[in-house]
Amino acid sequence: MLRSRFVSHLLAGALALAMPALALAQNYPDRPVKLIVPFAPGGATDILGRLLATALGERLGQPMVVENKPGAGTVVAASLVAKAPADGYTLLGANTTLTLNPAIRTNLPYDPVRSFTPLGLVADMGLLLVAHNDTPGSTLKDVIARTRAAPDKFSYGSYGTGSSVHFGGEVLKSTTGMQMLHVPFNGSSPNLTALMGGQVQFAVDTVVASTPLIKAGKIKPIAALSPQRLPLLPNVPTVAESGYPGFDMGSWFAFVGPAGLPAPVQKKLEKALADTMASAEFRKKLVDLGLTPSWANGDGLRARIERELPVMRAVAARADIRVD
């Protein structure tokens, strides 16, 4: 009898503690939600993040406010979200660096799986090798020959150390034997601005950020790093068809929150994402940007991250990509 009462008191106490959290989760969201974008304004992740923030804000009934937190190859932003309260009011516009950083950094302040609640995979993004208009050569074969002949003369920009485009550039170098110094910038906008200004002769960046500048004649494309040609730039050959079959380096965009999000909050966010991605109008916006819609729920995103981690570690070891 005493034991039964003791257990009842324990259960009542646990329920009393859980009720406020449950009520908060059921009322979620009752204030603006913050979306942390790990790059400077103007890049593909920022453009996509702002599109999704607008659409999700409408579905959630509260504004979603974008905050750009570039730095350390997205480690700054990811750390901020990993340490944020697990209440659904701080989310991360994550990308491929969730699987790249563990492959090239030994002391990450977060775990790519255990530190986050995966909410959904949104899109795949093609990457490009682009050049300053005055840089000699217009094909990948030209670039390889020129950089091999003068290894100290050429450099390429990326939108951050350890980013997918840095990874793509280094794998491109190790695969083809081209010689270029890597120069990291905090985002696509500063990366491509440096390219146009001649601070670097080449850059690796996304199709989203590069295409407007290519079409305006401000930079020139050399090769797509994707396995197939990009719909927005059908005349640009791939690395694979330029003599390196099987070459495939890309990027993806996803949403995650801090680990331990309450189940009702997680479900609400997943449903808002799923409904947004089911919209033909929204999917067309992604395609028009040069993205490939690629919806997967939280479980699907977690599976992709876990599948890619060992693959990226192997690629990093083979290409000798290290940050620390």
pLDDT tens track for 134-172: 999 899 999 999 999 998 899 999 988 878 898 899 989
**Which residues is 253 bridged to in the sheet?**
95, 123
pLDDT at 3: 53
Residue 288 has pLDDT above 70, yes or no: yes
Amino acid at 273: L
Residue 319 has pLDDT above 90, yes or no: no
Residue 261 has pLDDT above 90, yes or no: yes
For residues 24 and 293, the model is more confident at 293
Q: Compute the average pLDDT of residues 186-194.
A: 92
Q: What are the Cα distances from residue 167, in Å, to 97, 312, 321?
A: 9, 9, 7
pLDDT at 122: 96
Nearest to 182 by CA among 191, 222, 190, 8: 191
Q: Report residue 42's pLDDT band, with 50, 70 and 90 as the boundaries.
A: confident
307: left (phi over 0), alpha (psi -120 to 50) or beta: alpha
The whole-angstrom distance between residue 75's C-alpha and the CA centroid of its chain comes to 12
Rounded CA separation 237/30 (Å): 49
Apex 70 CA angle, 66 and 75, nearest 5: 110
What structural domains and CATH numbers belong to the chain?
34-124+251-319 (3.40.190.150), 126-242 (3.40.190.10)
The answer to which of 10-14, 33-37, 218-222, 238-242 has the lowest mean pLDDT is 10-14
How many percent of the chain have pLDDT more than 70?
92
pLDDT at 151: 84
Q: Compute the average pLDDT of residues 74-98.
A: 96
**What letters, b where the CB count within 10 A reaches 16 and e where it falls short, cover 53-84?**
bebbbebbebebebebbbbbbbbebbbbbbeb
- The count of other CB atoms within 10 Å of the CB of residue 229 is 16
Q: Compute the average pLDDT of residues 214-242.
A: 96
Q: Report residue 13's pLDDT band, with 50, 70 and 90 as the boundaries.
A: low
pLDDT at 8: 57
Per DSSP bridges, beta strands 116-132 and 219-224 are antiparallel
pLDDT at 20: 53
pLDDT at 18: 47
Q: Compute the average pLDDT of residues 15-32.
A: 68
Q: Compute the average pLDDT of residues 43-61.
A: 92
How many percent of the chain have pLDDT more than 90?
72
Rounded CA separation 164/170 (Å): 10
Q: How does pLDDT run across 88-139, given as a tens digit for each residue?
A: 999 999 989 899 999 999 889 999 999 999 999 999 989 999 999 999 989 9
Residue 36 has pLDDT above 70, yes or no: yes
For the chain, what is the mean pLDDT?
Answer: 90
